[in-house]
C-alpha cells in the first residue's frame, strides 16, 4: 500500500461519519444504502434506509412487496425509477440468483438499476473485491491530486479517471479504501475552498503545488433545463357527505411512473385560465356550465434534473357526480385517503399546504 493510500485510510478511520451501512457486510444493506444515496444527501437518505430495513428486513421480504407499497415508502426521495428498479432487482436476486446476492462486479451489474459505481461499491465493501468506485467525490479528489483537467463528464474523462482509480486500488482493504477516498472528498476536499494548508495529503497534491485547486475538477456545460407547465385539476364533490376528488395513476414513459397525481393538462407555455377551461371541456367531456373553478393556486416550482415543473392547481366544483367525467382512468378517492397513495413530492406539498379541500353540496 502506498503512503497516499495509507494516509487516506488513516484519515478515514479517525474522521468517518457513523453510518449504519458502514457497520455491516450485508450486501443487501449495502446495496440498499447505495441505491438510496444515488442523487440523495446522506442526512436525507438515512431515515429512508432505516425505514426500508425495518419494513423489509431481508431481500426476500422486499421482493415480495407490492410495487405501490415500495413507492409509498420511497415517497419524497425523488427519482422514482430507483424504487421500481430496487423491487425488480430484489426479485432478480430471489428468482435468478436463488436468493444469494451476486458477488462479482459483472454479476452485480446484471441487477436492474445497478451501474458501474454501485457494482464496484457492493463488490468492494461486501465482498472485498478490488473494484474502484468513481463518484463525484472521487472525481474531485483525483482531478486535484493529479491535476487532471480533462472534463469529468466527458467520455475520455470518465475513462481516464476510472483507469486511474483502479490503478490506485490497494490489494488489501479495497472496501475501506473506496470509502476513505469518497469520504475524504465529501468532508475535506470539498467543492468550495478546502483547507489545503492543513490537508494530510497536501504533499501529494499537484493541484495545490500548481495553485489550480479552485479550477479543478473541470466539467463541460450540461443541457439547458427545460420548463414544463402542468395544470392540475382538483375536482371536488361530495359522495355521501364525504369530500372526494379524482386521482390518476401515472403510466407511460414519463416522470413519476407508477405514482398518483391529479388529472392534468399540460401546456407549452404558462397558459391562460380561459385556455384551461376550454381544455377541461374538451378533455373530460364536460360542458362549461357543469363545473366552476373555485380557486387557482399560486405557482409551484419543482426542480428535476433536466426539467423544471411549473404547476398550478385548480380547485373545481363539479355540478353533479363523478360520472360527468368522461375518463375511466381516474379513481374516485375520498379526500382523507389521498395520503395513502404514493404521490410525487409536488402533489404531497400541495396537499400539505391545502389540507382542507372544501366540497360544496350540489
Contacting positions for ligand SF4 (CB under 6 A) = 144-145, 188-189, 194, 196, 199, 201-202, 205, 207-208, 213
Query: Grid coordinates standing for 139?
Result: 472525481
Taking the C-alpha atoms of residue 248 and residue 338, their distance in angstroms, rounded to an integer, is 11
Write down the catalytic residue from 34, 60, 197, 294: 34
Q: Toward ligand SF4, which CB reaches closer, 130 or 194?
A: 194
- Among the listed residues 102, 26, 91, the one whose alpha carbon sits nearest the alpha carbon of residue 65: 91
Chain centroid, CA 209 distance in Å:
37
Is 60 part of the annotated catalytic residue set? no
* Shortest reach from residue 11's CB to ligand SF4, in Å: 10
| DSSP-assigned beta bridge partners for residue 226 | 307
Q: Toward ligand SF4, which CB reaches closer, 65 or 216?
A: 216
State the burial class of residue 229 (Cβ atoms within 10 Å of its Cβ: 0-12, 13-18, 19+): middle
Chain length of the chain: 362
* Shortest reach from residue 43's CB to ligand SF4, in Å: 22
Give the ranges where 2-112 is alpha helix by DSSP (H): 3-15, 27-37, 42-55, 59-63, 67-74, 81-96, 105-108
Query: Grid coordinates standing for 319?
Result: 355540478
Phi, psi torsion values for 107, nearest 5 degrees: -75, -35
* Shortest reach from residue 219's CB to ligand SF4, in Å: 16
* Shortest reach from residue 314's CB to ligand SF4, in Å: 51
Q: Toward ligand SF4, which CB reaches closer, 106 or 215?
A: 215
* Shortest reach from residue 201's CB to ligand SF4, in Å: 5
Taking the C-alpha atoms of residue 103 and residue 166, their distance in angstroms, rounded to an integer, is 18
174-187 vs 3-15: helix axis angle to the nearest 10?
70
Task: Point out the residues that are catalytic.
Answer: 34
Amino acid at each position: 500500500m502506498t503512503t497516499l493510500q495509507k494516509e487516506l485510510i488513516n484519515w478515514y478511520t479517525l474522521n468517518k461519519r457513523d453510518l449504519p451501512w458502514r457497520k455491516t457486510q450485508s450486501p443487501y444493506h449495502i446495496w440498499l444504502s447505495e441505491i438510496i444515496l444515488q442523487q440523495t444527501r446522506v442526512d436525507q437518505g438515512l431515515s429512508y434506509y432505516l425505514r426500508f430495513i425495518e419494513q423489509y428486513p431481508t431481500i426476500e421480504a422486499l421482493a415480495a412487496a407490492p410495487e405501490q407499497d415500495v413507492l409509498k415508502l420511497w415517497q419524497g426521495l425523488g427519482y422514482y425509477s430507483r424504487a421500481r428498479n430496487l423491487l425488480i432487482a430484489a426479485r432478480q436476486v430471489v428468482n435468478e440468483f436463488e436468493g444469494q446476492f451476486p458477488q462479482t462486479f459483472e454479476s452485480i451489474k446484471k441487477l436492474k438499476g445497478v451501474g458501474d459505481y454501485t457494482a464496484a461499491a457492493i463488490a468492494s465493501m461486501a465482498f472485498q473485491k478490488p473494484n474502484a468506485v468513481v463518484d463525484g467525490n472521487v472525481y474531485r479528489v483525483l482531478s486535484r491530486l493529479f491535476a487532471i483537467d480533462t472534463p469529468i463528464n466527458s467520455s475520455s474523462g470518465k475513462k481516464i479517471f476510472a483507469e486511474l482509480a483502479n490503478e490506485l486500488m490497494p490489494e488489501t482493504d479495497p472496501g475501506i479504501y473506496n470509502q476513505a477516498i469518497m469520504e475524504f472528498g465529501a468532508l475535506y476536499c470539498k467543492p468550495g475552498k478546502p483547507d489545503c494548508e492543513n490537508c494530510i495529503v497536501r504533499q501529494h497534491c499537484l493541484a495545490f503545488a500548481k495553485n489550480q485547486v479552485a479550477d479543478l475538477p473541470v466539467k463541460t456545460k450540461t443541457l439547458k433545463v427545460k420548463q414544463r407547465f402542468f395544470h392540475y385539476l382538483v375536482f371536488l364533490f361530495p359522495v355521501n357527505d364525504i369530500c372526494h376528488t379524482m386521482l390518476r395513476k401515472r403510466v407511460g414513459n414519463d416522470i413519476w411512473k407508477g405514482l398518483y397525481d391529479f388529472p392534468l393538462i399540460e401546456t407549452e407555455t404558462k397558459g391562460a385560465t380561459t385556455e384551461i377551461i376550454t381544455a377541461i371541456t374538451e378533455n373530460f367531456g364536460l360542458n362549461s356550465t357543469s363545473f366552476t373553478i373555485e380557486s387557482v393556486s399560486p405557482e409551484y416550482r419543482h426542480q428535476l434534473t433536466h426539467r423544471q415543473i411549473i404547476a398550478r392547481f385548480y380547485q373545481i366544483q363539479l355540478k353533479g357526480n363523478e360520472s360527468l367525467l368522461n375518463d375511466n382512468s381516474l379513481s374516485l378517492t375520498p379526500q382523507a385517503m389521498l395520503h395513502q397513495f404514493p404521490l410525487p413530492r409536488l402533489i404531497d406539498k400541495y396537499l400539505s399546504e391545502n389540507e382542507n379541500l372544501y366540497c360544496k353540496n350540489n
